[in-house]
Amino acid sequence: MVKVKANHLLYVVFVCLVFDGFWVLWCWPDDNFHLVFCDVGQGDAILMSFGETQVLVDGGSDDRVLSCLGEHMPFWDRELEMVILTHPEKDHGGGLISVIERYKVSYFVWGVLGNPAVFYQKLLVALSKEDVCLINPWQGDELTMGRVKIKFYWPDRDWVAQRLSVKSEDLDNFDVSKSGLMYQSTSGSPNDFSLVFKVSFNNFDVLLTGDADQKIQPEILMTTSFPQVDVLKVAHHGSRYAFLDEVLSQVRPELGVISVGKNPWGHPTQMLLDQLSRFGMVIRRTDKDGTVEVISDGEKWGIK
């Protein structure tokens, strides 16, 4: 039988409590805005954290996003205040199934375009089992979460109604608890329906573009202009068709981040990299740099 002196046991308990206290303080959220471009291979997953609030934009193709969440969220936090799916393709939404199963999600923001693919049907099932508030944003809509504001620049409601051959007023009349509920496009790529939005933390701005590339950008420019921002999420993983020069001349970011992994399409293309350099952008890419984190106090910002 092992005997332990009481004072020694108290010392061990004290050391453990001090260590735990320092660990909690180390992990406690600060007052800055953290913009994390997760390395999830060929796909998008972007975590935004401010205080005790987290917003996840897309989730990559598989559950690799969980490692990123575990690393950049407090270990005790199992809630995402908002999840945004830019468009229904697996390299953006596949990982969200695991996210919804493991985290409490308060708001799920997405478009009305669906996908018959297996991953998307599983996503619908996962959502139907949870108490989640669903939001379908349109061009001009704004969401506010504390000091963070999200403004949507695409899609345009009338454009979507025309492409889906439905009445504009009918676009929100669906029920996530039913199968086959989301609209299917008879014309155009799912990329064209991507949510495009600006996230602002005081005077720090970032533009997230999903896969909305040159094909749809003229349509966007017909109805609105792009905002000037500090950071740009490069569209479509660095495709040669990612941006029109006119868009980049309006956005004028200092930093462009490419979420990309090993792929058969040559992303990011040299043509795209040359274009971004021509506009004076600092470039970071997840296939070379790993996870990219930008931190801002609302005025100044930097790359961790």
CATH number of the domain to which 172 belongs: 3.60.15.10
pLDDT of 25 reads 42
Does 121 map to a domain? yes
Does 131 map to a domain? yes
The total number of structural domains that make up the chain: 1
The residues, any chain, with a CB within 8 Å of residue 55's CB and separated by 6 or more, are: 47, 48, 49, 80, 81, 82, 83, 84, 145, 148
pLDDT of 179 reads 43
Does 1 map to a domain? no
pLDDT of 185 reads 61
Does 71 map to a domain? yes
Pairing of strands 53-57, 133-135: unpaired
pLDDT of 6 reads 54
Q: Which residue ranges in the chain fall short of pLDDT 50?
A: 2, 4, 12-26, 177, 179-181
Give the domain extent around 284.
Answer: 6-303
pTM for this prediction: 0.89
User: Is-contact 228 205, C-beta < 8 A?
Assistant: yes
Write the pLDDT tens digit of every residue in 7-26: 555 554 444 444 444 444 44
Does 295 map to a domain? yes
pLDDT of 57 reads 99
Does 92 map to a domain? yes
